[in-house]
Chains A and B, each alone.
Chain A
């Protein structure tokens, strides 16, 4: 447990001292959402309908953008080799890095979402549901993304490859999350969707660190 917190602290420290890597995906998130009203229509009735989809797609792409850096620097400077040769459990170390990634990407996205929601004329009830789906699903995005990030470690210019690997796995989350928000707008029941998102999260926590550890070992060979 100590090593989990130590790794978390180290990753957060590195990120705070190199803020551009954290801020870039968030800026992308804000900018891409705010461009939609300009491009489609500033009408409240139009925006309201597509708001949840826009915010969800933008947050997914923002997470994808940030994933490249998850293992990249540690691979280049050799810290990853030290992590693999450590006698501590590699999946635990990876889980700690994923937690740091979620704190730096997922939480800011959740916190920014009500602002962007209001900006797209979402009513306050739907904003609450939007935040709830983001809270349930952004950790899954980081967890599943870590598998892709560990597979492409060491490959130059691999941004496109990462999207191809990871986006198909994100699709179920996108479908359940955005349908939850749009159904909530009509006052329909959304427990089913929330249960699905929670299931994906639990399964991701239990499996992805192990898969990612395996992939990292292969990438380092």
Chain B
């Protein structure tokens, strides 16, 4: 119960600062001296060819990988701090779902890991992503697009301010893409930040572009 009280306090973030970031994978220098700033309300689309370091950048921002050099701060909080980590929702290439669990059981666990108070809204979130009636379906039986929708439902109920989405539109049909785009717009209109990568054309208005 204590946790719910803490989480429900209104929280705002102002900007995510990336300073002089260097990333090396094996012998390849993916990017160097990368600096940018993302303010609350910004949508940043990261573009680049295959292997240019889009996923590596998102993983560094999520705290999964350590950069060779450089500094990442969210309003003075470093990437390793709890304040930073609790504001981040990272959506990677993998489904993050266990095949043995149902959609709703998977979401209960994932939302427990991330910062969210709206667990009772999970069914509603599943309806929102077009999976009404699939609450008790085992994830092993879902299609790739449906799995993507389940994890997106988890993103939608999260209270994290920073969304790091790696190819969020993969396997989604045009209608699904539209749902995600609308939700990203809404999230950023409410003072959130969103960084995402995609190879598809995105109709999101006011998006900034970072080319790697």
Tell me the A residues contacting B by CB distance below 8 Å.
Answer: 2-3, 6-7, 10, 13-14, 17-18, 73-74, 76-79, 81-88, 93, 220-221
Q: A14-B100, A85-B85 are known contacts. Are A78 and B113 too (CB-CB below 8 A)?
A: no
Question: Would you call B88 and A221 a contact (CB within 8 A)?
Answer: no
Question: Would you call B82 and A87 a contact (CB within 8 A)?
Answer: yes
**Residue B96 CB within 8 A of the other chain:** yes
Q: Given the complex, which residues of B lie within 8 Å of A14, measured CB to CB?
A: 98, 100-101
Known A-B contacts: A10-B101, A82-B114, A87-B85. Give 10 more (CB < 8 A).
A6-B112, A13-B105, A14-B100, A77-B99, A78-B96, A79-B98, A79-B109, A82-B110, A87-B115, A221-B65
**Residue B3 CB within 8 A of the other chain:** yes
Question: Would you call A3 and B112 a contact (CB within 8 A)?
Answer: yes
**Residue B66 CB within 8 A of the other chain:** yes
Q: Given the complex, which residues of B lie within 8 Å of A18, measured CB to CB?
A: 100
Q: A77-B98, A78-B96 are known contacts. Are A2 and B112 too (CB-CB below 8 A)?
A: yes
Question: Would you call B64 and A221 a contact (CB within 8 A)?
Answer: yes
Chain B residues 105 to 141 lying within 8 A of chain A, measured CB to CB, are: 105, 108-110, 112-115
Contact partner of B109 (CB less than 8 A), chosen from A7, A17, A81, is A7
Least Cβ–Cβ distance between B58 and chain A, in angstroms: 11
**Residue B86 CB within 8 A of the other chain:** yes
Q: Given the complex, which residues of A lie within 8 Å of B66, measured CB to CB?
A: 221
CA distance A3 to B119 in the complex (A): 14
Residue of A nearest to B108 (CB): A6
**Residue B5 CB within 8 A of the other chain:** no
Least Cβ–Cβ distance between A217 and chain B, in angstroms: 8
Enumerate 5 A-B pairs (CB-CB under 8 Å) in ascending A order.
A6-B112, A14-B98, A78-B96, A81-B62, A85-B90
Question: Would you call B113 and A82 a contact (CB within 8 A)?
Answer: yes
Residue of B nearest to A79 (CB): B96
Instruction: Report the 6 A-B pairs with minimum CB-CB distance, sorted nearest first.
Output: A78-B94, A87-B86, A86-B113, A78-B96, A17-B100, A87-B85
**Residue B95 CB within 8 A of the other chain:** yes
Residue from A17, A18, A73, A87 having most chain B Cβ neighbours under 10 A: A87
Question: Would you call B93 and A78 a contact (CB within 8 A)?
Answer: yes
Chain B residues 58 to 107 lying within 8 A of chain A, measured CB to CB, are: 62-66, 82, 85-86, 88, 90, 92-101, 105
